[in-house]
Structure formats: C-alpha cells, structure tokens
Amino acid sequence: MATILAHLLGMDHKGKPHQIDQSMWTNLLASFDDEKFMKEMVNAHAPEEGDVDVQSLFHLVDNTLHGTTAIVDSIVNPKGTQGSGSPEFKPLKEGFNPPLAAINEVGCQLTCKALDTKNVRQTLVSLFHELSSYSWVNKALITLSSLAVFYGDFWRLARVEPSDKLAESMAILKGLPAITKPSDPQKIQIFGVLNEMIKTTLNMTQCIVDFEHDSKDVPELSTMIDVASSVYQIIISVLACSIQFTSLISTVDDNKGKDLPSFARKVNMIHHTIKRQYEDFLQKKEEIKEYQRLQRLFNAPTDNVELIKAMFYIKDDPQPLFIGSKKTRDKVESLRRKNVMLLISDLKLTSHDLSILIKIYNERKFHEERYEIVWVPVIEQEGEEVIKQFQNLQLQMPWYSVHSPKLINRVAIRIIKEKWHFRQDTMVTVLDPQGKVSNPNAMNTIRVWGWEAFPFTGEIVVDKWARPGISWFDLLVTDLIFPKIQEAIKAEKYIFLYGAEEPKVIQEIEESLKKMIDDGFSMVAFNVTKSQLFWTRLESCMLSKLQTRADLHEPLMQDIIRLYTNFKKDGGFAVLTKGSRVVINESHVYVTKVLVQYEAWKKLVNVNGKTFDMVFKEQFDRIYVLPRCHHFYIPNMVGYIPEDVKCPVCPRMMNNIVKFECCHGAH
C-alpha cells in the first residue's frame, strides 16, 4: 500500500522524490543504437496463440493519449489552443477486454521500478520478458497503454469542476496546482516538450499498427519496415517519457528536464524514419494495386480509350494530349473508335524514323481509314534540359503526343516494358478501336516497307514477306543509305558492300578495290561500318521477318542472318553482287584474302568465258575452310527466341547460347 501511495505522489518506496541519475539518462539514449542489446531483446520474442485485438487496443490508447495531450497543450499554451475544439475519439469495440494484468505490470516497470533500480537495461530486459508472449505490435501497444493510463490519470485532474471536491483534493495531493500555475511560467514549457514527445511516440506506434494491418494483403511488402526493431525503439521512447514524467511531477526543480530536448530530437528522427518507410510502403502498395489493375486492362481491353487513358495520369490533367499540327490540347476520348499507332520511344528517336512516320501520317488514306499516331515517351531522366529535348522533339510531330512527360503513368510504362517488351529501341504498337493489339511492334516493318505495309497489322507483315521472288538485297539497299545504288543495280554493275571493325582490314579491302576499279571493272563500293541506317535496316529486316515466326532455314532468312553473323562473330563482312544477284556474302576473313591476291588471279578473268564474279567466287571457294562449328546471331527480340533450330550444315540440332553485348553507343 505504501509503495502504491508513494508512486501516486511521485516518490520512491522510501518516500523520497524520484530523481534521474545522469548516467541513467545517457544509457537510455545509447540503448537506441545498441544493436547487440536490441538483438538480445528481439530474441526474447515468443508469441503465443490468441493474441490481443490490435485495432481495439490501439483505439483505446489513441483516445486516451489524444485527450490527455490536448489537455496539456491547453495548459502549456492556452492561447494557442483556443478554438481548436475537442479531439476526435475513435469508436470503441463493444465487449473488448484489454490485457489489464500486463498493462498494470508494465506500468509498474515503467514508473517506480525503473527509477528505483536506475538500471535501464535491467528495466528493458524485464519489460521484454513480461511482453514476450505478445505480438510485436501488441508489445508496443501494451507499453504505450501503461503510459497512457499513468499520464491520463494525472492530467485529467487538471480539468475538474470547482464543485468536485474529491478531484480537487486529489489534484492538490498530486501537486497539479504547482505545475499548472507555477510562479515562473517558463517552467511549464518542459511539460510541453514531453507532451510533444509522447505525441510523436503515439504517431510512431500508429505507423506500425497501420503497417501491420495494411501489409496483410501484400505479403511481398511485409519486410519494408523492420517491425521488431521499430517496436524496440518505441518501447525505449515510452520508457523515457515515463521516467521523465515521473521525475517531473515529483518536485518542482529548475534543473529537471534539461536533457529532454536531446532525447526528443532522437525520437523525432526515429519517427521520421518509420514514417518515411510507411509512406514508401503505401506508395509501393498503390503501385502494386495499379499494376494489377493495368494488367487486367492490358490483357482484356474493351475500348482503346480506356487502355490509352491508363497510360496517363488523367486526374492530374483531363486533357493530357497535345495535337502537334494544331498546337492545341485534347482529351483521350477523341481517339474513340479509331485505330491508334502508339509510338513508344525515348528522346533518341531518330530523324530517319520520324521522317518515315511523317510520310505515313501525311497519306490521305491514313486518315480516311481513321488512323492516328500517339507518341508515348519513355523518359527516365529529369531536369530542364530533358524537358527542352522533349519539347523540341514534340514540335516536329504533327500527331498526338502526351502534353507533358510528367503525365505518363510510370506503372503503365512498366507494363509496356514487360508485356510489349519495350527496351530502348523505338517501337510502334498498333491498337484497333477495341484496344486489342493488332501488331505489338510495327516499327521494323515500317522501316523496311514504309507506307506499302499499311495498315501494319500482323497479317499484312506475313503477306509482305510471302511475296514470290523477294530479294533481301533489294530490301536492304536503298538510295537513302547508298546514293544512286539503284542506278548501279539497273546497270548490272558489280556492287561491293563491306564493313569491318579493324581499320587495317578496311585499308586492305579498299586498296584492292581501287586496283580493280582502276583496271576497268564496273564496280561501286560502300563501306557500311559506321552507317547506322544500314545496320538499323538490317536488324529491322531480321526482326520483321522473325515476327512472322519465319523458318530460320529459309534461304532469304539464312542470307540475312549470315551477313549479320559475319560482322558480329568475325568483326567484318563482305557482299559482292552483280546488280541485285548476290555472288558472295561471307566473312571478311576469307574475302580479304581473295582481295589481297587480286594481282595473282586477275589474269583469269575473261579466260574461257569466265567473268569477274565467276573467278572471284572460284578463288573464294579455293581458300574457304568450313568452320568446325557453325554459329549464327540474331538481334534481341524479346518474346520470340527460336528454341529448336536445326543446323543448316548438318542434321544436328543447334545449341542455344545467350550472349550479352554492349557497343558503347557504336553499332
């Protein structure tokens, strides 16, 4: 009985006012960052079945501390709380029974025992032992409940009616008049600091309570907050608040609470960390929900407007589209019942691709068939320079584009990367009016065929490649890449295309070619080593053909693959044609040997009716050695990688080896 009375009067078991030893306060502050000690406390966790209802207990604690801290605010700063009204109380669950025995025992640990022993480590060990059978969140709530009872029981007496003599007498016994009406008004301010620290501790606890509740349906995010370490820090914060409060109400002392601001700063830092983690969790959870919504939409669209709207933050701007030809804004609804070509690219959209698309857009039939283009930029960077690049590119487009890259739904971009396999190369996804994809990427076909492949559906691509007598060389070489090459083809001139990574190889090739031209052979030669247009067109031919699920053994496909592989595997290639008829399409390794031996075999030309190309081919066949292993390369095409490929040289199946490559910006 004496111990309880001493506790109520703010004294130890000997009847003396509680005092905080400086080393006690220092040790308590150090406990926050003592990982070894924290691990020991965490290891004491041994939860049992039938735990306490977290939400019901939190509502009790929240109501108690919100009401109590409001009373303290009105005493510490009477003018500042005028007109603020009463705190909002949460509804309580009928029939809920809090763990009273645990709350009372923890309350005793927090107050009289903590100050009697003056050993915070021992007190913390006792607390975690007492709470070992409860869940982590309930450990925090029970500890905070004990403080709430103690804190609320004291301060509610500061708001008693004059007629309530019993409450008035109890308030005097607790020393409330000396605290609430001190001779020096500054003395009450330290209670304000403690009150704010208790609010912060309550807010930390709410973050943990909400996190536990909100993470149940997203188990993959359940580790975004380390609940165990957070509860450990909350319990230390509650212990600190309790010790300080017990000491402060014992006697009026000018030196009391002088170390409280430093502790409050530490608690604020911890709260900031937990709050940020909880906000990050909420953002991630919202992204998951949005991702799931968009997945359903992308998998089963009912309308192209619905699908396109999902790509933008419509709530931020109901008119997210910009019409380049009119320089005006528009709603996504304007695209309803239209076929939409989504141009998806970063800011490195080439002028060549842009010019092809502009030609298509300017075709009258394009609009008569109710087609539109919408640019969806995928921009990872930020800053003024990026915005300028975006605007400069946007002004060159006559079609629709998003008004600002900030309106792009980042979750939609993730879906585009995963479902439509966007990486960094420009792509055009064709949607029909119902939002269904009629071609996941028409850009490769557009580069090869241009307007001829309109309306760019998958069926059209198959039809274009199925044309009889199609020549891969005719598709690959154009006047745009090789000026006047069509004239050379029509004149049946010899055409020599070559490329090599080593400058020495280029020099050997060009020296030999000069001799041939000087000797009067009708030949044009083109070095394509650094021709981005050539390599882009070559890859586009391959990818467009692969989109048709082409047989890799088709002669046309083999010829294209051979050229690509020779450069990738051996670092160079050479193609010799007479007009559009291909004579040689091989690695530079053997072709260069034939070229440097030109002086030795040129005399065979026009002997026994053998033309230049016939002699060249004979010389090549003479020195060519079939490699031990046959390799071929195809450019990355996510979504279609042939699994079983028969070797074109022997009857065996080929091994599939994945290779990653970076050319540092060069092709």
Q: What is the pTM of this model?
A: 0.77
How buried is residue 288: exposed, middle or buried, by Cβ count under 10 Å (0-12/13-18/19+)? middle
pLDDT of residue 6: 47
Q: Is the pLDDT of residue 52 over 60?
A: yes
Number of other residues whose CB lies within 10 A of the CB of residue 574:
26
Q: In this predicted model, what pLDDT tens digit does every residue of 354-381 receive, in sequence order?
A: 999 999 999 999 999 999 999 999 998 8
Mean pLDDT, rounded, for 259-268? 88
pLDDT of residue 599: 94
Does a cis peptide bond (omega within 30 degrees of 0) precede residue 91?
Answer: no
pLDDT of residue 89: 80
Contact between 32 and 233 under an 8 Å Cβ cutoff? The reply is yes
Q: What angle do CA 271, 282, 290 make, to 5 degrees?
A: 170
What is the C-alpha to C-alpha distance for residues 445 and 441, in angstroms, rounded to an integer?
8
Q: In this predicted model, what pLDDT tens digit does every residue of 508-562 receive, in sequence order?
A: 999 999 999 999 999 999 999 999 999 999 999 988 988 888 777 788 888 888 8
Mean pLDDT check: name the lowest of 110-119, 310-319, 494-503, 580-589. Answer: 110-119
Distance, C-alpha 453 to centroid of its chain:
36
Q: How confident is the model at residue 156 (pLDDT cuts 50, 70, 90)?
A: confident
How buried is residue 151: exposed, middle or buried, by Cβ count under 10 Å (0-12/13-18/19+)? buried
Q: Which two tokens stand for residue 206?
A: 């709410």
Q: Which two tokens stand for residue 548?
A: 């048709």
Q: In this predicted model, what pLDDT tens digit does every residue of 72-89 receive, in sequence order?
A: 998 888 776 555 566 778
Instruction: Tell me the one-letter amino acid at 499.
Output: G
Q: Kindly give the residue spans of alpha helices, DSSP state H, lying in 118-186.
A: 120-130, 136-155, 165-173, 176-180
User: Shortest CA distance to 466 belongs to which of 582, 549, 538, 565?
Assistant: 549
CB half-sphere exposure, 175, CA atoms < 13 A: 17
pLDDT of residue 665: 56
9 versus 575: the higher-pLDDT residue is 575
Which three-class secondary structure string do you get for 355-378? HHHHHHHCCHHHHHCCEEEEEEEC
Q: Is the pLDDT of residue 14 over 60?
A: no
Q: Which two tokens stand for residue 488?
A: 């050379």
Q: Kindly give the residue spans of alpha helices, DSSP state H, lying in 400-442.
A: 410-419
What is the C-alpha to C-alpha distance for residues 545 and 310, in angstroms, rounded to an integer?
31
Q: Is the pLDDT of residue 469 over 90?
A: no
Does a cis peptide bond (omega within 30 degrees of 0) precede residue 433?
Answer: no
Q: How confident is the model at residue 220 (pLDDT cuts 50, 70, 90)?
A: very high
Contact between 574 and 588 under an 8 Å Cβ cutoff? The reply is yes
pLDDT of residue 116: 63
Mean pLDDT, rounded, for 403-415? 93
Q: Please give the mean pLDDT across all residues of the chain.
A: 87
CB half-sphere exposure, 1, CA atoms < 13 A: 0
Instruction: Tell me the one-letter amino acid at 151.
Output: Y
pLDDT of residue 1: 40
pLDDT of residue 604: 94
Paired strand residues for 377: 345
User: Shortest CA distance to 376 belongs to which of 342, 347, 351?
Assistant: 342
How many helices (H) and strands (E) in the chain? 28, 11
Q: How confident is the model at residue 198 (pLDDT cuts 50, 70, 90)?
A: very high
User: Shortest CA distance to 369 belongs to which of 456, 465, 458, 463?
Assistant: 456
Q: In this predicted model, what pLDDT tens digit does every residue of 166-190 receive, in sequence order?
A: 887 887 777 777 677 765 666 788 8
Mean pLDDT, rounded, for 441-465? 93
Contact between 231 and 270 under an 8 Å Cβ cutoff? The reply is no
pLDDT of residue 26: 81
pLDDT of residue 3: 46
Contact between 370 and 339 under an 8 Å Cβ cutoff? The reply is yes
pLDDT of residue 109: 86
Q: Is the pLDDT of residue 18 over 70?
A: no
